[in-house]
Chain A
């Protein structure tokens, strides 16, 4: 590229602290997410170690509750969401032919809020009394009247995360709507850009709701209101309605960008265009719209009227249709392709199958009368780990392997990548599949100790957890090794890769992506 000589970067700490560059900020988001993965994962290891056998061995029940709470919060808000914002930062400008994000200073701020948000959240572990111990869903009144003193820090942390997410999504929307290269119509955008555009709208719609619910908690706890306090005329069930009105779209916020990543990768390694591009776009939009009218399927047991239970059951079942369309389209993309199985493709194929298994258990739980049996058991734990670990996290792994050569200019170590994949694949199923059985057999979630008949499957799950957790250190090694050197990547990187970032930018991509708008056919 002719503009390479503009490629001078600021140096030292200032490069990162004051960065307005989409790539540097993307890198920081991804490293932040990676660090949080190990912190949240460490908590998961504590949980699985305590659950290795019946009886309390390692921690006390209150600390166990702190671990499940912080594990959930960190994985949702500190790992999956920042990783996708990192991908958006790196890729959206490159994919739509823009030089950078539209609002670079806001971009800097939305990242730098995060370390403070999570610093606040994690500091509660070192406070007198208990850290937040009421589950990542923080149901009132357990989190309000009965919450530990540190809950106010948790509320402040959630507010900061919300501000960061809203700024990040405004940036994504403004960039996508204003900075596309000439000729890049909406229906020519890569699917990843589409999924992020829709995700950003979801974020703007529901993050204020989350902010609202924690603010109501704050005033209930400190200023004498009774939003959720029955004794004061308030309503604890209203908390759940407000929380899940945020919480259900949040679920799709964590999965739609994964759909985007997978939709970029499968065509590359099938050497065949994505099947049903427009139906993929419409399916994503349908899922997003439906996500606003299904929230109460998280609360079938609160004693809703029959009409409410029926409505939420039917609306929830409906989500299976656009989700199915996506799976069928990916399958059709692979069909009669010319397939190769480099690490990104391996993770993507595993994603399709394992995410679909998570989708099936989701469909089972949409059925209200049966959900009375599944609700709040390990069955739901199995379900959301299938969609979030073998779903969202596997998509993040796939995306990282897929674009690392473009980002660093070096190929990662393919052999090690495959080792990482196969060990992750086996161990993650040993970890989460038995949880279906535990839930069906009647083991409630969020308990630090269990009856003897649950021992076998808990041990299996724990062993899977230790292997799955441990092997992620190999991923860390692979990433560092790739950054530091390795076989040089070509500009196209992958034989079947299409899109502006592979066709019109060198590897590694220059510091400023497109200083002149590329031509889009």
Chain B
């Protein structure tokens, strides 16, 4: 955008701030975020430009209506005029708005073309997979992936009667594992989904793209500023649509490299975990964490489920207290009759599955005494 336009925009912004910032809602954000990327700032300028075009046209039209309301009242002795047709004005108020629209469309198209430019030159590629109700971030060239769930602090606070429990924890906007990307590098996001349609949105990057099963969508960003940026799933995806936030941490190049190395180590340790034999206590402790992160949304923390909504209880259930083979089958391969029960075989390691199944078979009074080992899971995967 040219110099003239940015001067105009700055003036407009200054005027608008006078109205907005003094009021009652000084604390609450009322306008779109300018964001932190070049693209998001361009989007913000477009938004501001079009908003003010609308405000000016609105002020004109509403002004005429209000003048009419006050001046042309019967009670003030106004007598109705006779005109009811005028070709010239009809043509004028068709053509002028059309020209204004062209004026809007040109900068809009320019920005859009930039946003949709291919990201083949990206230095980092992350495949984002939406799940009910969490995100998986797969660093394709680094060889590791992990899930990002709503933080436990928020989960604990959702049903709390004490509003203080929701303060100071970035309520509903915090996760257990953040996405981490390097600053000043082009990062490509590839979005897809494992179940229903989700939408990955970080307002500060002006990136919102649907994650659709069977599709791979692409978006990209270059974030110049280190920091933590938050967003949410933007497409209704079922019960916990409101509870799958997105947190992206932008690190310096060196910190990012260190983080990648650490993550690779964790992945290697997880692989080692698949080949060892675990004690019951280890399985139960690990299983509880995994259960709370991945299963409790439907089956609930105490295994009671929400039978009315079609989410069965695990406590004293036929599967969790019956033969181990059937239990392994439904967790690894999903339910044949209820699609809400996903196939977790693809989402979790052998050790994770062993731990969570052990937990389900022994928690809440299920007490089967079965300790399922990673080797059992491996055998059952066939």
Interface residues in chain A, defined as those with a beta carbon under 8 Å from any beta carbon in chain B: 53-56, 60-62, 65, 128-130, 133-135, 139, 141-142, 145-146, 148-149, 230-231, 234-237, 270-279, 301-303, 306, 309-310, 313-314, 317-318, 320-321, 324-325, 327-328, 331-341, 349, 352-353, 356-357, 360, 363-364, 367-370, 372-373, 375-377, 437, 440-442, 444-454, 456-457
Would A353 and B62 count as touching, CB distance under 8 A? yes
From known contacts A142-B236, A301-B199, A452-B166, infer whether A340 and B310 are also in contact, taking CB-CB under 8 Å.
no
Would B196 and A356 count as touching, CB distance under 8 A? no
From known contacts A373-B203, A375-B208, infer whether A441 and B81 are also in contact, taking CB-CB under 8 Å.
no
Q: Indicate if B125 sits at the interface (CB-CB under 8 A).
A: no
Which of A146, A277, A334, A376 touches B84 (beta carbons < 8 Å)?
A: A277
Please name 7 pairs of A and B residues whose Cβ atoms are closer than 8 Å in the assembled complex, sorted by A: A55-B163, A139-B197, A279-B90, A303-B210, A337-B81, A437-B25, A444-B242
Which residues of B63-83 have CB atoms within 8 Å of chain A's CB atoms?
A: 64-65, 68-69, 72-75, 78-83
Bound complex: CA A464 to CA B286 (Å) = 48
Would A334 and B203 count as touching, CB distance under 8 A? no
- Chain A residues lying within 8 Å of B104, measured Cβ to Cβ, are 317, 367
Would B166 and A447 count as touching, CB distance under 8 A? no
Instruction: Flag B186-215 by CB within 8 Å of A: 1 or 0 each.
Output: 000001000111010101001111101111
Would B65 and A321 count as touching, CB distance under 8 A? no
In the assembled complex, the CB of A442 is this many whole angstroms from the nearest CB of chain B, namely 5
- Chain A residues lying within 8 Å of B89, measured Cβ to Cβ, are 328, 332
Would B68 and A334 count as touching, CB distance under 8 A? yes
Would A449 and B30 count as touching, CB distance under 8 A? no
Would A321 and B75 count as touching, CB distance under 8 A? no
- Chain B residues lying within 8 Å of A437, measured Cβ to Cβ, are 25, 28-31
Which residues of B299-355 have CB atoms within 8 Å of chain A's CB atoms?
A: 306, 308-310, 339-340
Would A55 and B234 count as touching, CB distance under 8 A? no
- Chain B residues lying within 8 Å of A141, measured Cβ to Cβ, are 195-197, 213
In the assembled complex, the CB of B342 is this many whole angstroms from the nearest CB of chain A, namely 10
Total CB contacts across the A-B interface at under 8 A: 301
Instruction: Flag B29-47 by CB within 8 Å of A: 1 or 0 each.
Output: 1111100000000110011
Which of A324, A339, A363 touches B68 (beta carbons < 8 Å)?
A: A339
- Chain B residues lying within 8 Å of A309, measured Cβ to Cβ, are 112, 116
Q: Indicate if B260 sits at the interface (CB-CB under 8 A).
A: no
- Chain A residues lying within 8 Å of B111, measured Cβ to Cβ, are 369
Would A444 and B83 count as touching, CB distance under 8 A? no
From known contacts A301-B210, A364-B54, A368-B108, infer whether A321 and B68 are also in contact, taking CB-CB under 8 Å.
no
By beta carbon, the residue of chain A nearest B214 is A230
- Chain A residues lying within 8 Å of B241, measured Cβ to Cβ, are 61, 65, 444, 446-447
Would A376 and B199 count as touching, CB distance under 8 A? yes
Would A236 and B212 count as touching, CB distance under 8 A? yes
Bound complex: CA A182 to CA B107 (Å) = 53
Q: Indicate if B58 sits at the interface (CB-CB under 8 A).
A: yes
* Centre residue among B29, B115, B163 by max chain A CB count within 10 A: B29
Q: Indicate if B370 sits at the interface (CB-CB under 8 A).
A: no
Would B101 and A320 count as touching, CB distance under 8 A? yes
From known contacts A146-B339, A353-B62, infer whether A364 and B217 are also in contact, taking CB-CB under 8 Å.
no
Q: Indicate if B146 sits at the interface (CB-CB under 8 A).
A: no
In the assembled complex, the CB of B130 is this many whole angstroms from the nearest CB of chain A, namely 12
From known contacts A276-B84, A452-B171, infer whether A55 and B72 are also in contact, taking CB-CB under 8 Å.
no
- Chain A residues lying within 8 Å of B239, measured Cβ to Cβ, are 61-62, 65, 133
Instruction: Flag B216-242 by CB within 8 Å of A: 1 or 0 each.
Output: 011000000000000111111111111
From known contacts A236-B213, A331-B68, A349-B69, infer whether A364 and B47 are also in contact, taking CB-CB under 8 Å.
yes
